[in-house]
Structure 1
Amino acid sequence: MTPLAFEDIAARLAAWRFPAGIDGVVGIAVGGVVPAALVAQRLGVGLKVIALNYRDDANEPRHAEPTLLSAVPDLGAWRRVLLVDDVYVSGKSWHAARALLPVEVEVLPFVLKGKVDFAMIRDIDGCVQWPWRVC
């Protein structure tokens, strides 16, 4: 497991070019809450959370499909949002969350780590120890 310093994550976020015109950020709980809060603060927009559970603490799937654990947030007048998670492995959590949001809302992806073009960290293989996560 590779530890990442908060300062490194903050510097990467400061340098990241986010799309223009974002109305708000939706974080996928549990892992995406802190990243979503950091992104919302960086963009100066609101934050909402949707709670799904798919993986256990060892990062292994615990359900066949992600399970909704909260109400779906009311996005109000938001028409263009970033849907944020900590990592993108299979994409199941991200796609499950997207499917629960209104179809008329443009939902753009952002994750801290993954092998996808919308991941901020693509240069570290394996699992990451986030500074906000207690083991």
Structure 2
Amino acid sequence: MINVASQWTKGWAISRGAGKPVAEPWGWRIEIEGIGRYVVTDLQWLKKLLPTVTEQGAWLKLFVSPEEAAPYLTQGWERTDPGFMMTVDLDRTEPRCPAGYEIEVTASGAATFVRILTAGGEQAARGQMGRTGETVVVDKC
């Protein structure tokens, strides 16, 4: 699980335009627009970490089950529905849209941004991803 979390953290940081994740004993720390994102893979460290996270708007990304984390999350933390890690082998394809839509793909370094536009130029859908070597982390889709 640590390798999956490491690859996800690196790709997510690239997608968000953040700096390189900083390795910590409990996982990784990422700064995005001055706000900490804490990716925690070790439940034993969560109790030690939480009192040190004081900035408004900080996020925890926990690679543990909600039931395992619940006793450690004190008042003031907003809980959201859990997400799930999914993996798949990727194949290179040419993007296609239904008739009446247009695809716009842009890249910035290892980040790729995709928008689907209506015939009138309005955004119908979007997504972005960060590439770390052979791994791609899909974000904001």
TM-score, normalised via structure 2 length: 0.33
Higher radius of gyration, 1 or 2: 2
Higher strand share: 2
TM-score, normalised via structure 1 length: 0.34
Q: With a CA cutoff of 8 Å and minimum separation of 6, indicate the structure with the bigger relative contact order.
A: 1
